[in-house]
Amino acid sequence: MKFFIDTANLSEIKEAHALGILDGVTTNPSLMAKEGVKGKDSVFRHYKAICDIVDGDVSAEVIATDFAGIVREGEELAEIDSKIVIKVPMIKDGIKAIKYFSDRGKKTNCTLVFSAGQALLAAKAGATYVSPFLGRLDDVSTDGLVLIEQLVNIYQNYAFDTQVLAASIRHSMHIVRCAELGADVATCPLAPILALLNHPLTDSGLAKFLSDAKKMSE
Ligand code: E4P
């Protein structure tokens, strides 16, 4: 399973990259706004700065919601760097745009996916990634992991190339469950990734090994 970090914060991206396990980045307009990025030039510069840190795909989301606007914006975003994946919302014109981009060999990430039917359309249109938001489903008392399982099965049934990019991940167990279910990618903030490191038996075991090692040098 690939690990993407879901942030536009350059320090967090650098920290995850330094761990050596980072495969890409996802952003969205809320995450960009959180970093205080304003104006087209500075937004584009920020995406370029992210691309310069990581080795993998970097999702950059369009703001337009009409076909012509999505295509125009997506093409501009794709010009920033070859790592840019055009992130398109799951709407009718979005699906048309994904098909347009896919026919021209451009990578896309279909975002705001909350049902298997939506994901089926995204795959039919040729999306590179589909982003089911599992945490936001959990927030409304619907098991988001069930959706991940459905998508993995449906895509396997028909050998779709579209990758299941589990998004809106809130904690480390979400990551582990997504790996068990066969999601291709998990994207999440840095904290749940770092939380995977933790186990009290590792801490106590290491403390014991270090104290015993001290005895050998006395
Ligand atoms: C995915 O691409 C989205 O940017 C993100 O995972 C949404 O997460 P949230 O529900 O925590 O905002």
The per-residue pLDDT for range 26-66, each reduced to its tens digit, is 999 999 999 999 999 999 999 999 999 999 999 999 999 99
How far does CA 99 lie from the centroid of its chain? 20
Q: Count CA atoms within 13 Å of residue 139 on its CB side.
A: 8
Task: State the DSSP string of 112-161.
Answer: EE-SHHHHHHHHHHT-SEEEEBHHHHHHTT--HHHHHHHHHHHHHHTT--
pLDDT tier for residue 173 given thresholds of 50, 70 and 90: very high
CA 194/CA 215 separation, integer angstroms: 32
Pocket of ligand 1 contains residue 149 by CB under 6 Å: no
The tens digit of pLDDT for each residue in 110-130 reads 999 999 999 999 999 999 999
Catalytically annotated residue among 2, 34, 48, 87: 87
Whose CA is closest to atom 6 on ligand 1? 168
pLDDT tier for residue 218 given thresholds of 50, 70 and 90: confident
Report the DSSP beta bridge partners of residue 86.
60, 108
Only one residue has tokens 């399973």, namely 1
pTM, entire model: 0.96
Pocket of ligand 1 contains residue 167 by CB under 6 Å: yes
CB 88 within 8 A of CB 74: yes
Residue 87 falls in the annotated catalytic set = yes
* Mean of pLDDT over the chain: 97
Check residue 39 and report its DSSP letter.
S
CA 167/CA 183 separation, integer angstroms: 10
